[in-house]
Chains A and B, each alone.
Chain A
Amino acid sequence: MQGSTALALLLALLAVPLHAENLSFENTLVELVVTYQEPDPFQPWQMKPPSTRHGFGTIIDDGLIVTTAKIVRNQTLVEVRKVRNGQKFAATLVQTDEQVDLALLALDHPDAFGPMRPLPLATNGLPDGPITLVQIDSTHQIQDGEGQIVKVAVENLKGSIYHSLHYSVLSDLTIRLTGGPAVRNGQLEGIVTDYRAGERTSAVIPAPFVRRFITDAETAPYNGFGTAGFHWRPLIDPVKRRYLGVSTNSGGVLVLAVVPGTGAADTLQPGDVILEWEGHSLDDRGYYEDATYGHILFSHLIKLNRMPGEAARARIVRGREDLVITVPITRTDEEAALVPENTSRQRASYLVEGGFVIRELTGHYLRSYGRDWRARANSRLVSHYYGRINKDYAPGDRIIMLIGVLPDSINVGYHHFSGEVLVRVNGKPIRNLDDVFAIRDADKAITSFGFQSSPFDITIDGQMLDDANRRLADVYRITDLQRRHP
């Protein structure tokens, strides 16, 4: 890991003129060949077959490469390929953050790589004017194309649950792979995270996000990006504004719910109307005028301008009274949800006991049912995911489910149980998988299972359990009968 002085020096490098710049990208732009393995949500003890994805990366410091998080997700090997050169160099993942879709890689042997020309990060990039997208074409040549920033918006991109500011860059260049740089005046203005071929538009993560991510990644612990922890809606409806006692032309958005365990949980209430955030007036759709980016959603103020651990001041209306409150910003933690999304597709914790395969429900699990997952997966689990049932939960509560029963003589008569929500083991109520593990540790075995569907718990023979577990592990080739959260 390089020191911050090196980075500061790098950032201070003067820009080179853009003309005929593609030649100079030979030692800056690389192709990434990522071998990856995704976990198998239905057989959580194993991974799916390995596969390969390709993307681009940009050298931003000696031996350091920045790319998107989704390119390196669940990587088992990252290889870096130079332009016009078949040679591959191994790299190690330094940090990845799904919430901004950025990842930092370090070459294992930077000396062997040869000359590098790190691309300096833009210091005061403006979201308008021409911008150049650079990539490597299929014949391993550098290729660039001029584009225009046609939109600056806080939105969540395809396949992501996280809102973030992006540029939309319209360009004639057909983007082959994502992860490459957007450049202006020889400086990195952003990273291409998505490409919509039909609109010839690339979504670009602006340089300030890249800068903050890299700076953060350089020193442990990684702090990440923050959240205030509330759900809100625009408040345009004049009837509703009158009903809530807010004047029609004062702007402001309506707080619908607060997320347990976040800064908003103790400071905001459903029904509050947020008029100002950090001194910026919000309009009735939640937009404010940003000095750099113009008319954008105020969640940008939380995500980029504040670090977890800091706090933000807000002016609100609560019960027809004006209040100024301070909302702590905390690290966005999807693990706090009743049904975590698991966008980064981490391996799930699970327990196989007497053939009963138990794990927690995640968004990733449901999506594994394929394109039609909403119709194919169990409707109770889908409804839990959408948050329409069990809305009142405490931090740490999870939906624990029985994926199925691996047939064995210990569990005859139970093979048809699957997709059930597990609410009791050994007669004790459980809130999450950690509770299950704790009960197993205390009781040495789990011999009774109680599901939401019935007050009657089904039992297995505790005397047979050790033998059965050994047999099941052997027959079904289960390397580990359990995996616990680290």
Chain B
Amino acid sequence: MRPLQRKGPRGSPRIAIAIGLYALILATPARCASPARLGRSVVKIYVTLQRENYATPWRANRPTKGTGSGFILRGKRILTNAHIVSDKRFLEVQKNNDAKRYVARVEFVGHDCDLAILRVDDPAFFKGTAPLRFARSIPQLNDEVTVLGYPMGGNRMSLTKGVVSRVDYSRYSHSGLDEHLVLQVDAAINPGNSGGPVTFRGRVVGLAFQGIQWADNIGYAIPLPVIRRFLDDVADGEYHGYPELGVAHFASRNPALRSSLGLSDAMTGAVVYRIDPFGSAAGLLKPGDVLMGIDGHTIANDGTIAVDGTRAIYAELLERKQWGDAVEIDVWRERASQTIRVPLRNPPDPFLYRNLYDQRARYVMIGGLVFSPLSRPYMNTLSRSRSDANTRQLRYLSEYAKVDGPYQTRDEFVVLIRRLPHPVNSYATGFENAVLSDVNGVHIRKLEDVRNALLDATNGYYVFRFLGMDEELVLDKDIVDVSQTELLRRYSIATPSYFGEER
């Protein structure tokens, strides 16, 4: 019995994990509208993957294997979860009742929505398959849905049934950060089910993707609107992801607040509290603005709008937008209303700490000191209860860098993640997990700056200063220079740095 190849990040704020290991295994025969027909297009995915090691970024982790599910769409594509194929090294797919496995490749992957599209180049693979078709809309509560896939407990395709118990917003544990619509069903969804279709009356309404540890009969599926948005996004040959508005708001319920803003009783809206400097609204909206409407929908005092017969946070409208679209926001500002068009084209945000996949960890090693940018996977390698001031500062920066301002002087936080003991750095203790401020008087905005700052030693010394620390770290340039090769050999480091693709 083999569990799915991955679980969600340990200790993530929400308890949702990708298909928890702990749900019961259902082994009932199918009783569904033509399961045989559906089954022809539900495939099993075999993956060999290799995670990055953010604590020792010059090393590769041991490859592991796993399986998941996927299903065939029109255009000879296979839709599955991003978390099944992330960090993949080798990928194969297999149809039900077919002995042969076919090599597959990832065409598109959306880590923020946990979806991926695979291609199989061998046309023989698609022989006898029929693409699954999407329903027109998402099912209602209590509608009976069917989950197909290849979960633990056997090798052949499995089918489970349940009802839609809830349609809600929830965090997608694959990225650890993004929240989108989810379909909660009480059908058994187990490790290996991930990527398999959830169908209603023979049409796809969702894609099974995560469960909750220690909970019974709760399985989550990515619902149709999120899938459709993903497919639309990649239609131009590139996945752009969800645009971010970058607005934190609070309810305009307080009478004193309302009167200070000049809001009459009839006017409704939510008050902008903070603008994310990397969001699309930066420079267009500002704290104190009242968001009264978005694309023609009236925003209530609690920030919700009426959409599809239910109330949802106004940001749900952005769920349907593509990067490059725009929203029209009706704003009450300085006791006058105006409509502000916000193009949704936010820049990449280096201070948004998502889980990272399909990229190598960047680092530089000098004199046995290994520097790497602050990242969520690196934070995950540190125990949450570590008591040293440097680690607490990293936690703070990962949460407040954009709110309190430390981001302004940096493109990323460069962290001394490890000291590889060597006579050259014997006394350089107590600096681990500190954030580099400058080297030889050169301010460090990003990892590459370390390389440049080392070109100019200070009177024959390399002098490192760290954010919020009084003590300097001083290395002798000549000793560092002659030790570098020896350090690489001693700690089996193939290359002293990896800066990624030049930015």
Bound complex: CA of A233 vs CA of B428, how far in Å?
A: 12
In the complex, how many residue pairs between chain A and chain B have their CB atoms under 8 Å apart? 114
Residues of B within 8 A of A382 (CB): 392, 395-396
Residue of B nearest to A421 (CB): B404
Q: In the assembly, what is the distance between CA of A391 and CA of B467, in Å?
A: 10
Interchain CB contact (< 8 A) of A456 among B259, B271, B393, B403: B271
Interface string of A387-406 (1 = CB under 8 A from B): 11101000000000000000
Could you tell me the distance between the alpha carbons of A454 and B387 in the complex, rounded to whole angstroms? 29
Interface check B90, CB cutoff 8 A: no
Cβ contact within 8 Å between B461 and A243 = yes
Q: Could you say which of A375, A386, A452, A464 contacts B393, with CB atoms under 8 Å apart?
A: A386
Asked whether any CB of chain B lies closer than 8 Å to the CB of A221, the reply is no
> Are A413 and B253 in contact, CB atoms less than 8 angstroms apart?
yes
Contacts A243-B463, A379-B399 given; indicate if A413 touches B474 (C-beta within 8 A). no
**Could you give 19 example pairs across A and B, Cβ below 8 Å?**
A236-B427, A237-B427, A379-B399, A379-B400, A382-B392, A382-B395, A382-B396, A383-B393, A388-B389, A389-B468, A412-B253, A413-B252, A414-B254, A455-B288, A458-B257, A459-B254, A459-B257, A461-B255, A462-B256
Q: Please, which residues of chain B bring their CB within 8 A of the CB of A231?
A: 470
Bound complex: CA of A460 vs CA of B257, how far in Å? Answer: 7
Tell me if B396 and A374 are in contact (CB < 8 A).
Answer: no
Cα(A387)–Cα(B390), bound, Å: 10
Chain B residues, CB < 8 A from A410: 256
B426's nearest neighbour on chain A, judged by CB, is A237
Judged by a CB distance under 8 angstroms, whether A270 is at the interface is yes
Q: Mark B452-477, 1 if CB is under 8 A from A, else 0.
A: 00000001010100011111101110
Q: CB of A416 within 8 A of chain B? A: yes
A240 to nearest B CB, angstroms? Answer: 5
With A375-B384, A412-B253, A461-B256 known as contacts, the answer to whether A387 contacts B471 (CB < 8 A) is: no
Query: In the complex, A467 Cα to B350 Cα: how many Å?
Result: 48
A372: B residues at CB distance < 8 A:
385
Across the A-B interface, the 10 shortest Cβ-Cβ residue pairs: A413-B253, A237-B427, A388-B468, A456-B287, A383-B396, A386-B389, A413-B254, A461-B256, A256-B470, A388-B393
Q: Do residues A454 and B255 form an inter-chain contact, with CB atoms below 8 A?
A: no
CA of A389 to CA of B393, assembled, Å: 8
Q: Tell whether A447 is near chain B: CB-to-CB under 8 Å.
A: yes
B479 at the interface (CB under 8 A from A): yes
With both chains docked as a complex, state the minimum distance between the C-beta of A186 and any C-beta of chain B, in angstroms: 44
Query: What residues make up the interface of A, taking CB atoms closer than 8 Å to B?
Result: 231, 233, 236-237, 239-240, 242-243, 254, 256-257, 270, 372, 374-375, 379-380, 382-383, 386-389, 391, 410-414, 416, 447, 452-456, 458-462, 464
Contacts of A240 in B (CB 8 A): 427, 472, 474
User: Would A416 and B396 be within 8 Å (CB), given that A389-B468, A459-B256 are in contact?
Assistant: no
Known: A374-B387, A388-B389. A460 touches B396 (CB 8 A): no
Query: Are B389 and A460 closer than 8 Å at their CB atoms?
Result: no
List chain B positions with a Cβ less than 8 A from chain A.
248, 250-257, 259-260, 271-274, 287-288, 384-387, 389-390, 392-393, 395-396, 399-400, 403-404, 406, 426-428, 459, 461, 463, 467-472, 474-476, 479
Q: Which residues of A contact B470 (CB under 8 A)?
A: 231, 256-257, 270
Question: Inside 8 A of B389's CB, which chain A residues have their CB?
Answer: 383, 386-388
CB-contact partner of B403 in A257, A374, A453, A459, under 8 A: A453
Closest to A375 in B: B384
- Residue in B253, B256, B273, B404 whose Cβ sees the most chain A Cβ within 10 Å: B256
Residues of A within 8 A of B255 (CB): 412, 461
Q: List B contacts of A458 (CB < 8 A).
A: 254, 257
Among A447, A452, A454, contact of B273 (Cβ-Cβ < 8 Å): A454
Task: Give which listed residue, B256, B393, B403, B426, contacts A447 with CB less than 8 A.
Answer: B256
B287-A455 in contact (CB<8A): yes
For residue B385, which residues in chain A have a CB less than 8 angstroms away from its CB? 372, 374-375
Tell me whether B254 and A460 are in contact (CB under 8 A).
Answer: yes
Instruction: Choose among A237, A388, A411, A460 the residue with the greatest number of B CB atoms under 10 Å from its CB.
Output: A388
A412 to B476, CA, bound (A): 61
Known: A374-B385, A414-B250. 8 other contacts (CB 8 A): A239-B461, A240-B474, A382-B395, A389-B468, A411-B254, A413-B257, A460-B254, A461-B255
B400 to chain A: which residues have CB within 8 Å? 379-380
Of A239, A386, A388, which one neighbours B474 at CB under 8 angstroms? A239
User: Bound state CA distance, A414 and B271, in angstroms?
Assistant: 12
CB distance from B290 to the nearest CB of A (A): 11
From A386, A452, A454, B392 is in contact (CB under 8 Å) with A386
B252: chain A residues at CB < 8 Å are: 413
Closest to B257 in A: A459
Q: Which of B260, B387, B476 contacts A239 (CB 8 A)?
A: B476
* Shortest Cβ gap from A100 to chain B (Å): 25
Known: A374-B392, A382-B395, A456-B273. A239 touches B479 (CB 8 A): yes
Are B396 and A388 touching (Cβ within 8 A)? yes
CB contact between A256 and one of B428, B459, B471, B475 (< 8 Å): that residue:
B471
Q: Which chain B residue lies CB-closest to A372?
A: B385
Let me know if A239 and B403 touch, CB within 8 A.
no
How far does the alpha carbon of A411 sit from the alpha carbon of B250 in the complex, in Å? 13
Given contacts A388-B393, A453-B273, contact A380 B463 (CB under 8 A): no
Name A354's closest neighbour in chain B (CB-CB).
B256
Residues of chain B lying within 8 A (CB to CB) of residue A236: 427
Chain A residues with CB under 8 A of B274: 453-454, 456
A379→B382 CA distance, assembly (Å): 15
**Whole-angstrom distance from the CB of B15 to the nearest CB of chain A?**
16
Chain B nearest CB from A399 CB (Å) reads 12
A242: chain B residues at CB < 8 Å are: 476
